[in-house]
């Protein structure tokens, strides 16, 4: 059976490309980068190797495109609950419910990809999403405008601290981060450091 003449021919353009990228992402999540093969992706997508190779010349190119597809699919509006703590809790809960929960999970799936390409999760994220404001930047800047965080208190390290701790927990457990742990990260570490009651 020539799959290229069947289902692949009926799917064209953006529809076909999305199906290929989704198949590559699902294969990556199931077996990781090292064990992923173009044949397996083609079988999952019900198409053929040439259909994939016409779009991406190497496995690394396909996987990078699949990660970009997954990350952009999971982009969501930044929660605005009216408080810094509420925004952070809501954002971390949203991350728990997504397929792509954090850069830590990408590290788990893509370990050999980073070795092969000489990149890192930070480099990959910057290449895919750019270096513009992140969700945490939006949340923290709103908190400064509301007066919850003193102007000038936030350093780059403090800006990333809450989600650095969240990603570490996700990597160590490979599971959604429980609400109790989210609250510990915020109430015992992050908020005391950045709000008016803490010491920078």
Q: Is residue 170 part of a domain?
A: yes
Give the CA radius of gyration of the chain: 20
Is the domain of 87 the same as that of 186?
Answer: yes
The vertex-35 CA angle with 31 and 40, nearest 5°, equals 80
Residue 88 pLDDT greater than 50, yes or no: yes
Residues 94 and 184 in one domain: yes
Torsion 85-78-90-190 (CA) sign = negative
pLDDT digits (tens, 9 = 90+) for 39-80: 999 999 999 999 999 999 999 999 999 988 887 776 667 999
**What's the pLDDT band for 101 if we cut at 50, 70, 90?**
low
Mean pLDDT of 146-159: 94
- Per-residue pLDDT band for 106 (boundaries 50, 70, 90) equals confident
Q: Which domain holds residue 31?
A: 3-70
Q: Kindly state whether residue 76 falls inside one of the protein's structural domains.
A: no
Q: Are residues 114 and 186 in the same domain?
A: yes
Q: Assess if residue 200 is contained within a domain.
A: no
pLDDT at 193 over 50: yes
HSE of 29, CA atoms in CB hemisphere, 13 A: 15
In a domain, 129, yes or no: yes
Same domain, 94 and 183: yes
The reply to whether 90 and 115 lie within a common domain is: yes
4: confidence class by pLDDT, cuts 50, 70, 90: very low
Asked if 139 and 88 touch (Cβ cutoff 8 Å), the reply is yes
Check which CATH number belongs to the domain holding 24 and give it.
1.10.10.60
Q: CA–CA separation, 181 vs 151, rounded Å?
A: 28
Residues 63 and 88 occupy one common structural domain: no
| Domain identity same for 57 and 122 | no
pLDDT digits (tens, 9 = 90+) for 117-147: 998 887 887 777 677 778 899 999 999 999 9
Whole-number average pLDDT of the chain: 86
Number of structural domains the chain divides into:
2
Q: Is 180 a member of any domain?
A: yes
User: Once rounded to an integer, what is the mean pLDDT over residues 98-102?
Assistant: 57
* Same domain membership, residue 180 and residue 139: yes
């Amino acid at each position: 059976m020539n799959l290229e003449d069947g289902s692949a021919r009926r799917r064209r353009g953006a529809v076909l490309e999305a199906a290929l990228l989704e198949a590559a992402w699902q294969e990556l999540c199931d077996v990781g980068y090292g064990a992923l093969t173009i044949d397996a992706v083609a079988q999952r997508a019900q198409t053929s190797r040439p259909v994939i190779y016409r779009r991406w010349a190497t496995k690394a190119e396909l996987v990078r495109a699949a990660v970009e597809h997954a990350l952009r699919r999971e982009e969501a509006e930044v929660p605005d609950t009216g408080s810094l703590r509420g925004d952070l809790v809501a954002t971390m809960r949203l991350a728990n419910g997504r397929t792509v929960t954090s850069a830590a999970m990408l590290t788990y799936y893509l370990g050999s990809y980073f070795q092969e390409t000489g990149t890192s999760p930070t480099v990959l994220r910057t290449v895919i999403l750019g270096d513009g404001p992140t969700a945490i930047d939006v949340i923290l800047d709103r908190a400064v405008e509301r007066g919850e965080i003193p102007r000038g208190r936030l350093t780059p390290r403090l800006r990333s601290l809450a989600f650095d701790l969240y990603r570490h927990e996700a990597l160590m457990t490979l599971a959604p981060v429980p609400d109790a742990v989210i609250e510990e990260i915020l109430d015992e570490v992050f908020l005391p450091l950045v709000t008016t009651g803490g010491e920078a």
